[in-house]
Amino acid sequence: MDQDNAPQTSGDSATLRNRIAATEDFVDIAERLTAVGDLEWVAVESDFRLLAVNTSLRRQLESIQAAVMLCQQGLGHLAVAFVRASLEDVMYLGFFVSLDREDSQHLFKTMGTWDHLRSLLAQREYVGDEAMHTLWYSQEFLNWAELLKDQTRSELKQLQKKYRWSGGILPAGDWIAERSGHGDLYGYLHAATSRALHFSAGEILRRGWGEPSGKVITDKPEFREHLAAFALDQLWRLFLDTLKAAEPLIEAAGLSSDPALDFEEMKPILDRLLAIGRVPLVHAHEWNLTPEGPLGTSS
């Protein structure tokens, strides 16, 4: 746990307000840069990556908007959870775009089928067949789903041999990151953002701050501001990284740009965000470090 010393992250509350305002302006520009429209069904049937690009960019725009709203309500620290999904968009889209369409289509469909079946059969296991029947799932359908799951598992094992991925039945995240050229970014962000989603002893200790009174608090305002600033800083950067990864498929994926929008209009907003500065994942105050040296601790 951390001793009492407010983390001077990327500035004070005024700096966070400035970051929120700049991010809000970025969303306005990003929505004009990538207007997310509808897709033709026949196009998706021939290339599932188009649906992935469309869905990912829509979700990221909405995530940045949600992060701004959370920050405005004093709950911006919760927006760190959005960073994980955006990171994986960059990795997985970069990986699938690197494959030729036929290989991508086969792998995407097989992985998607596996995900669908796992959810369906986990529900069956939890509620039982009688409840599933009331939800319109016949016994014949459920038996077919079990058979298809076994077939899909076998197919994924063959694909694992073909691509030589690490991990289990599905490729490991670090393998996808390396294949897409984002190994360093994965190493920096993945574990930390995972801790924002799952139970983590390390994250629990990270959220505890010592007070001079001898109390430990878990809602340190300055640390919450740090987490909010970190989320805002990462989300706009990951959005641009995702655009770059998906660039070959952008137009076919149902995205369009405002023809009146040019770089001269975007540049001031990007300059504002860059001028505010990057926010570190781990602040030195979490390790009881200050500009004057280590903070005194008691055993």
What confidence tens digit (pLDDT) does each residue in 200-252 have? 898 888 889 988 888 999 999 999 999 999 999 999 999 999 999 999 999 99
Distance CA 227, CA 218 (A): 13
209, β-bridge pairs: 2, 217
Give me the phi and psi of 196, to 5 degrees please: -75, -15
Distance CA 89, CA 73 (A): 27
User: Taking a C-beta distance cutoff of 8 angstroms, is the pair 91, 182 a contact?
Assistant: yes
User: Taking a C-beta distance cutoff of 8 angstroms, is the pair 222, 6 a contact?
Assistant: yes
Nearest to 91 by CA among 165, 195, 152: 165
- The beta strands (E) that lie in the chain are given as 35-36, 209-210, 216-217, 255-256, 289-290, 293-294
Distances (CA, A) of 265 to 31, 63, 122, 138, 268: 13, 23, 49, 57, 7
* 213 contact partners, CB below 8 Å, separation of at least 6: none
Three-state DSSP state, 203: helix
What confidence tens digit (pLDDT) does each residue in 173-192 have? 999 999 999 999 999 998 77
Distance CA 269, CA 266 (A): 6
Counting beta carbons within 10 angstroms of the beta carbon of residue 292, is it exposed (0 to 12), middle (13 to 18) or buried (19 or more)?
exposed
Q: If you average pLDDT over residues 5-24, what whole number do you get?
A: 76
Predicted pLDDT at 197: 84
How many CB atoms are closer than 10 A to CB 248? 12
pLDDT band, very low/low/confident/very high, at 11 (cuts 50, 70, 90) = low
What confidence tens digit (pLDDT) does each residue in 251-295 have? 999 999 999 999 999 999 999 999 999 999 988 888 888 888 887
Domain boundaries, the chain: 13-294
User: Taking a C-beta distance cutoff of 8 angstroms, is the pair 227, 277 a contact?
Assistant: no
User: What predicted TM-score, i.e. pTM, was given to this entire model?
Assistant: 0.91
